[in-house]
Structure 1
């Protein structure tokens, strides 16, 4: 009923005196008034719980379009790997909420790049099973079961790998081994627990021997190993911090030692200078003591010779004969 029809109906009922003036003219006001009138006269239909439940069940559920993570089939592209993408699809199928054509549409929307080209070559008229088989032949596991089993039992924790990363990597290898079959959950958990503990780093394995004996499941042992690893990391961090942290006493002692060293260095330098001066003085005294003594008259004569050499030859010869005495001629 349109709003105009509601207004016409309200005016008609008012003219007949059947519609109270306090009631508005909107559709909700008229519907509320009619419901109150019918309930007061016992003519309002009341549904039982069974009828209400059956009507709810008969109503088709409204589900949003499922969305899968993007998969490109190329290294470095896409949101997830093929294994994780395939897991999302398997979960969507097992829930049974959506029809196959809806799941196929979600798969087509999630495949891009080379992976999208793979299903494009199948054509438009294919089903979910055919698409998944084709993708598995291109991107699925290609190792043989024997090689995967050997890889699982020989796996070891890397030195740079945490306990959590090691456990996840081991579970991933085990999932690849058991993907085709349906192993017993109890046997799988015990196998994982044994291989997980044997593949630990030696120092973690030595510290967790008692935990391995007491743990009854793989997840319980993983939690215990994570706690042990955390304690070991905390102790190593405390030890490295204590080693690298400077000690104030050592800093003061170092500063005082440096100042004392500089002072001693200055004293040594001063003593060296004084000793060098003393050596020079001793050398001069030794030279004066060890020099041969020359007679005063000879030294004066030498001086006279030096001064006479500057005179004329005749004068210098006469003066020299007077100083040294007459010379004998042969």
Structure 2
């Protein structure tokens, strides 16, 4: 019994030792992964500053916001942030790093980029653009809300406006500048009762979605009706076309028969005209022959008369000589 107790105690010690070794191994692995993760350079969206933005470019406002977020992250060292900034810049913005030199700090790079690309609008210009904003025809409620909120946030960042005034200004300008009168009429009660801008935006988004769904259903039903009408119309047209073709075929047959009849009549008339012309030609030839014969007889009669006159004159002269 004593031997078994000793063996059990030794087995328990072995189990505890194995657990301790496993915990130490896990701790070392975690520490290794923490070191590796801390050495990873963060990825920042690219920014070029070119007049024609390159593919994948973000605005300077968005790029600057990413830098601010990383500056406040304790897990990102200044060296890693500097490398991330250099990798994210391209185009005109990257060329501006050359005058700063290879040992430029994060602050020096940001000061240079702020001087070149930060917003230079005055308070009056920003607020005028904000109050003159309206929802564009192809712009949804979400995009419109983000656009005017960005304008107002710029004024707040430049200390032109107090942050406490943001909610009321956004709420009023957002709803009054909606482009759809139908959407405004269906959300007027929400504007009157909801005082929080974000909540109002969410409610109006829901109404906009309902209107879009209803419009799509109406469009589909309208398209189906149009297709149905087109099919009926095409069937009617095909039936009318068949009937028209039959009528045209009948008219062609009648026309062909009429043309044949006219040609036959013309042939008959032409034949009769030719016969008359031939008869007239034969009559003229016989008349000319008879006329020539008559003239010959007349000449003979004239000769006889001449002879008679000559004989009479000669007899008269003889009688006178006798006397």
Normalization by structure 1: what TM-score?
0.63
Give the secondary structure class of the aligned counterpart of 1:245.
Answer: helix
Report the Cα distance in structure 1 between the residues aligned to 2:135 and 2:295, rounded to whole angstroms. 115
Q: Is structure 2 residue 55 aligned with structure 1 residue 73?
A: no
Report the Cα distance in structure 2 between the residues aligned to 1:166 and 1:86, rounded to whole angstroms. 22
- Once the two structures are superposed, residues 303-327 of structure 1 have per-residue CA deviations (whole angstroms, 9 ceiling, x without a partner) of 6444333x375237689xxxxxxxx
Q: Is structure 2 residue 220 aligned with structure 1 residue 238?
A: yes
CA contact (8 A) 1:72 1:116 kept: yes
> Aligned pair in 2 of structure 1 residues 157, 302: CA closer, same or farther (>3 Å)?
same
Report the Cα distance in structure 2 between the residues aligned to 1:117 and 1:210, rounded to whole angstroms. 54
CA contact (8 A) 2:187 2:204 kept: no
1:40: which partner in 2? 13
2:143: which partner in 1? 165
Offset of 1:42 from its aligned partner? Answer: 11
1:206: which partner in 2? 185
Report the Cα distance in structure 2 between the residues aligned to 1:43 and 1:302, rounded to whole angstroms. 152
Offset of 1:244 from its aligned partner? Answer: 4.1
Structure 1 window deviating more from structure 2 (275-284 vs 254-263): it is 275-284
Q: Is structure 2 residue 233 aligned with structure 1 residue 250?
A: yes
1:193: which partner in 2? 171
Report the Cα distance in structure 2 between the residues aligned to 1:127 and 1:73, rounded to whole angstroms. 20
CA contact (8 A) 2:46 2:89 kept: yes
1:7: which partner in 2? none
Offset of 1:82 from its aligned partner? Answer: 1.4
- Once the two structures are superposed, residues 134-153 of structure 1 have per-residue CA deviations (whole angstroms, 9 ceiling, x without a partner) of 21110111111111101011
Aligned length: 265
Structure 1 runs not aligned, ≥5 long:
1-35, 285-299, 320-330
CA contact (8 A) 1:66 1:103 kept: yes
CA contact (8 A) 1:73 1:114 kept: yes
Greater length-normalized contact order (CA 8 Å, ≥ 6 residues apart):
2
Alignment partner for residue 293 of structure 2, among 304, 315, 324?
315
- Once the two structures are superposed, residues 26-78 of structure 1 have per-residue CA deviations (whole angstroms, 9 ceiling, x without a partner) of xxxxxxxxxx969639996998xxxx9xx99xx79521222212222223325
Report the Cα distance in structure 1 between the residues aligned to 2:247 and 2:95, rounded to whole angstroms. 84
Aligned-pair Cα RMSD in Å:
4.4
- Once the two structures are superposed, residues 188-210 of structure 1 have per-residue CA deviations (whole angstroms, 9 ceiling, x without a partner) of 23322221222122433334334
> Aligned pair in 2 of structure 1 residues 86, 308: CA closer, same or farther (>3 Å)?
same
1:263: which partner in 2? 246
2:320: which partner in 1? none
Structure 1 window deviating more from structure 2 (144-153 vs 117-126): it is 117-126
CA contact (8 A) 1:164 1:222 kept: no
Q: Is structure 2 residue 111 aligned with structure 1 residue 128?
A: no
Between structures 1 and 2, the one with greater helix share: 2
CA contact (8 A) 2:48 2:93 kept: yes
CA contact (8 A) 1:167 1:222 kept: no
Report the Cα distance in structure 2 between the residues aligned to 1:95 and 1:37, rounded to whole angstroms. 49
Report the Cα distance in structure 2 between the residues aligned to 1:65 and 1:255, rounded to whole angstroms. 72
> Aligned pair in 2 of structure 1 residues 283, 41: CA closer, same or farther (>3 Å)?
closer
Report the Cα distance in structure 2 between the residues aligned to 1:225 and 1:158, rounded to whole angstroms. 18
- Higher Cα Rg: structure 1 or 2? 2
- Once the two structures are superposed, residues 257-283 of structure 1 have per-residue CA deviations (whole angstroms, 9 ceiling, x without a partner) of 111122223334455566778889999
